[in-house]
Amino acid sequence: MITTSLSPNQQLQPLSTAVNAKGHLTVGGCDVVDLAAQYGTPLYIIDEKTLRTAGEQYVEALTRYYPGSSQAIFASKAWSMLAICAIVHQSGLGIDVVSAGELLTALKAGVPGSSIYFHGNNKSREEVDFAIRSGVTVVADNWTDIDLLSELAIDQPARVMVRVTPGIECHTHDYIRTGHLDSKFGFDPNQLLDVLTRLANSPNLRTVGLHAHIGSQIFELQPHVDTVDVLVEWFPKAQALGLSEFNELNIGGGLGIRYTESDDPPSIEAWVRAIAEALVSACQRTGLPLPKLLCEPGRSLVATACVTAYTIGATKTVPGVRTYACVDGGMSDNPRPITYGAKYSAVVANKMQETRRETVTIAGKHCESGDVLLRDIALAPLERGDCLTVFSTGAYNCSMASNYNRLTRPAAVLVADGEATIVLKRESLDDLLRFDCLPERLKS
């Protein structure tokens, strides 16, 4: 058992959450109400302790349960930002990127190319070139990727992995399911022999292994265990084709987190253990030497570490129907409820000692009826100026944030030991106009 602390993905709140003498919520030793006053709202507040703990738990569990070599990689699409990439890298993780922008962010955060993996189903020529020049491993998703890699890896050989669609079904939202056969990602297993044969005949492509990612926010362990079995079968075949460096098995990400009381995901430790044990026993069964085991978590690393603080503005009661309380953000800083029907939990940060005796619906400020962050949630009675704080907002919120209705995107602060540090500046109104051009003839 890992004893350092609780598994962050199983908690509703960051690990450092407490309530102070004023009855205010604190995270990382900082009063959330004070942070909201100082930095404005909406505000992403990142608890360094939770983030580091999650990263360390992946690394520790791999070391504990997998006797071969291993590497956890952060799927930075969950939140690509300098400070986050730097922290997870310090915790011993590599970084997975899917665009030139994410790659640049990881490199600028101090992550060496040798610890970066480049994914994506439509990489541009420039992106593949940038990745090769940076010494990054490129995960070939389709034949076009292999053509581009062959064209570009002339002066410098490219390190390549192959993504396969393992045909594994899992229970999650349709949009975030990727491992079934009708997916835009990865090679169909029927094509894999041709792919590996072509790679075996491409001396400038150093093919190092196989990758699969079956989906996200998954609570079951079995689909990942099954994926291990599907991938393992290909290692002897690849090696028989002459791919002598073929030794990395990347199981992808997908471990779910607890957004609400009723969510019950396995711990980071249990997830890693199930995969590690499945791989060890598959290798014993087939006589395969243990490959290097990689996994690629995104959500379970960053989600629980972050809370979003908002200020309550207007309220509206539809008699006999419901009461709406409106926050100063919404689908632009958290598009997950409107996109996936995602559910969250929340508190009133300045009223932590009051009973949750009112049921309200928290609406965003966008001109869209579906812009509702939390439906029918029990909270302390709300008034204008209250600080509503939503938990578990670290994954895919900031990274999918928009300027819809020309709202400025929030700032983010990193909190630890009672200190807050800005890690993302708030956009200003002027920033919104930075890329607009008003042609001379339209000026009045």
Q: At what angle do helices 143-152 and 125-133 cross, to 10 degrees?
A: 50
Whether residue 8 has a cis bond before it, omega within 30° of 0: no
Among 24, 49, 89, 119, binds ligand LLP (CB under 6 A): 119
Contacts to ligand LLP from residues 350-389, by CB under 6 A: none
Residue 387 a catalytic site member: no
Pairing of strands 387-390, 346-348: antiparallel
**Least Cβ distance, residue 60 to ligand LLP (angstroms):** 18
Residues contacting residue 131 through CB under 8 Å, at least 6 positions apart: 103, 113, 116, 118, 123, 138, 158
Q: How far apart are CA 428 and CA 410, in angstroms?
A: 10
Q: How far apart are CA 258 and CA 273, in angstroms?
A: 19
Among 224, 258, 273, 336, binds ligand LLP (CB under 6 A): 336
Question: Binding string, 285-314, against ligand LLP, x = CB under 6 A?
Answer: -----------xxxxx--------------
Find out whether 41 and 329 touch, Cβ atoms under 8 Å: yes
**Least Cβ distance, residue 38 to ligand LLP (angstroms):** 29
**Least Cβ distance, residue 300 to ligand LLP (angstroms):** 6
Comparing CB distances to ligand LLP, the nearer of 279 and 360 is: 279
**Least Cβ distance, residue 329 to ligand LLP (angstroms):** 16
Residue 5 burial (10 A CB sphere; 0-12, 13-18, 19+): middle
Give me the catalytic one of 367, 387, 398, 437.
367
CA distance readout (Å), 200 to 144, 149, 194: 17, 14, 10
Among 253, 265, 266, 330, binds ligand LLP (CB under 6 A): 253
Q: Which stretch in 153-161, 209-217, 238-246, 355-363 sits in contact with ligand LLP by CB under 6 A? A: 209-217
**Least Cβ distance, residue 412 to ligand LLP (angstroms):** 17
For position 224 contacting ligand LLP by CB under 6 A, the verdict is no
Among 213, 224, 258, 273, binds ligand LLP (CB under 6 A): 213
CA angle (273 as vertex; 267, 276 as ends), nearest 5: 145
Question: Binding string, 69-108, against ligand LLP, x = CB under 6 A?
Answer: ------x-xx-----------------x------------
For position 396 contacting ligand LLP by CB under 6 A, the verdict is yes
**Least Cβ distance, residue 395 to ligand LLP (angstroms):** 6
The residues pairing with 416 across neighbouring beta strands, listed in sequence order, are 419
Residues contacting residue 431 through CB under 8 Å, at least 6 positions apart: 408
The token duo for 240 is 């028989």
Q: Using CB under 6 A, count the residues that bind ligand LLP.
A: 21
Q: How far apart are CA 380 and CA 325, in angstroms?
A: 12
**Catalytic residue positions, numbered:** 367
Contact set with ligand LLP (CB under 6 A): 75, 77-78, 96, 119, 176, 213, 216-217, 252-255, 296-300, 336, 340, 396
